[in-house]
Structure formats: structure tokens, C-alpha cells
A = this chain, B = another copy of it.
């Protein structure tokens, strides 16, 4: 592989690369889509189950699933009448957990700051 000696000095990314990376992050930038992924992390679900579990409308869920499929994060297969959905890229879990624990840290440090900041 092309590993340099050190930590790699943060390469310049081409406009195309930036565009592609941005579109991946964009797929993750919507609460409903994150909710769908969060549900799918527990295992495969049909579209109908996702509709019920997410509380969003059927058309909306279908559209969001199309986005996630387009980003290569969710896969589907037909099973009778239903469409079974599953996470097709495990990176999603890592990314979300990373973001999640980072948020928790921030929250906790802010909470700590608030409680030690209690002047009158």
C-alpha cells in the first residue's frame, strides 16, 4: 500500500472526490434517514416495518430509502410482496457511533461546565 512514514500529511482532495464524499455525508444528514439506519442496525426490516417503526409516511420512507440505496448504504431484496432492507455498508455504524460518542462527550462537558458555573 501507499503508506508514507508518518500520519500522511492530509492530501489535497480533487473536486470530484470532495463531491463524492459530500454526497455520502449528505445521505447521513437527515434525521429520518438516520432513524431508518438506526432501526436497520438491529437487523433486516421490510419497508412496511420501517414505515411503522419510524413513524414517517410510506411515500417518504420509500424516498429516503432510495437515497440510502443510492449512497450504497442500504441494500434491498424482494421477498414476496415485501421489500426487505438491510445495511449494506458497515461503515455507517462506525460513522454514527463516532458522531454519537463525540456528541455525548460535548454534552457531558457542557453539563459539567453548567453545574460548576452556578454563581448565584
Q: Is the CB of B99 within 8 A of A24?
A: yes
Q: Is the CB of B95 within 8 A of A13?
A: no
Interface centre among A15, A18, A26, A72 (most CB of B within 10 A): A18
| Identical subunits present | 2
A31 to B98, CA, bound (A): 21
Name A25's contact: one of B10, B13, B28 (CB within 8 Å). B28
Q: In terms of DSSP, what is the predominant structure of the interface of chain A?
A: helix
Which B residues are CB-close (under 8 A) to A100?
Answer: 13, 17, 21
Binding site for B on A (CB under 8 A): 9-10, 12-13, 15, 17-26, 28-31, 33-35, 38, 41-42, 72, 89, 91, 93-96, 98-100, 102-103, 106
